[in-house]
Amino acid sequence: MLQVRDGAGETLGVLFDRYQTPLYNFYAKLTGDRTLSEDLVQEVFLRILKYSRSYQPGTPFRAWIYQIARNARVDHYRKTPKHISLEPEMAPPVKPKDEAQESQEAEMLHRALMQMPEEKREILILSRFQELKYEEIARLLGCELGTVKTRIHRAIQELRHVFRQMESGAAAGAAAPAMPPRRVGS
């Protein structure tokens, strides 16, 4: 039994090593909460262990694992309703010491992302950071390829809008940081 148990652990470990960082980044960028992100990554692997048989061979594996990841997050919020904070909980970790401006831009981008509606933020993260092809995203979100592209474009437009607004706000009154508007509901 021990052998079987170690076998499963070692085997799943291969997947863990491959996917824990991308999944962690998916959650961290989506929720802005590092602790929650690590918890959710663990949950994803627990689910992989439980539901490995639900993977259909021949279909894209990445779409499957991100489907699990999305469900895990939805279930988490179902159990623990989201609390809406005025300030994003997570400060962006980048601080290239010699590039103060880049660091400031990164922080602003992070805040702009966090201020966007969740669906738009999610599709931006999936397409920009998670190595997912549009076809895989379409499969994941259960919509047409064309719809994915339209949504991505709209999300970019909105991100640009929010980001540039923050930027001009910061330039106008450097002392007062821009306050994201309160979002009602989730």
Partner 1 sequence: MNMSCEQIGELLPDFLQGDLSSSKKGIVEAHLAECANCRDEVAVWQKLALLPMEQPSAESRLRFAAMLHAYQEGRSDRGKAHFELDRVEREPRRVGSPWSFWQWLRTPVGVVAWSAALLLIGLLAGNFYAGRTPHAPASGNQEQIAQMEEELRSTRQLVVLSMLQQQSASERLQGVSYSQREQQLDPQVRVALLHTLRFDGSVDVRLAALDALSKHAAQPQVRTGVLDALQEQQSPLVQVALIDQLVEWRDREAAQQLKNFEQQPNLNPTVKQRAEWAVSKLN
**Residue numbers of the site for partner 1 (CB under 8 A)?**
1-2, 4-5, 7-9, 11-16, 18, 20-21, 24-25, 28-29, 34-35, 37-39, 41-42, 45-46, 48-50, 52-53, 55, 57-58, 60-62, 65, 92-94, 102, 105-106, 109-110, 113, 124, 127-129, 131, 133-134, 148-150, 152-153, 156-157, 159-160, 163-164
Residue 98 vs 182, nearer CB to partner 1: 98
Q: Report in angstroms how near the CB of residue 161 gets to partner 1 at its nearest.
A: 9
Residue 98 vs 175, nearer CB to partner 1: 98
Q: Report in angstroms how near the CB of residue 84 gets to partner 1 at its nearest.
A: 22
Residue 57 vs 185, nearer CB to partner 1: 57
Q: How many CA within 13 A on the CB side of residue 101? A: 2
Q: How many CB atoms lie within 10 A of CB 54?
A: 11
Q: Report in angstroms how near the CB of residue 159 gets to partner 1 at its nearest.
A: 6
Q: Enter the tokens of residue 151.
A: 């949504």
Q: Report in angstroms how near the CB of residue 181 gets to partner 1 at its nearest.
A: 20
DSSP string, 89-110: S-------TT-HHHHHHHHHHH
CA distances from 130 to 63, 116, 147, 162 (A): 11, 18, 19, 22
Nearby residues of 103 by Cβ (< 8 Å), 6 or more positions away: 94, 95, 96
Residue 31: name the closest of 125, 114, 131 by CA. Answer: 114
Q: Report in angstroms how near the CB of residue 52 gets to partner 1 at its nearest.
A: 5
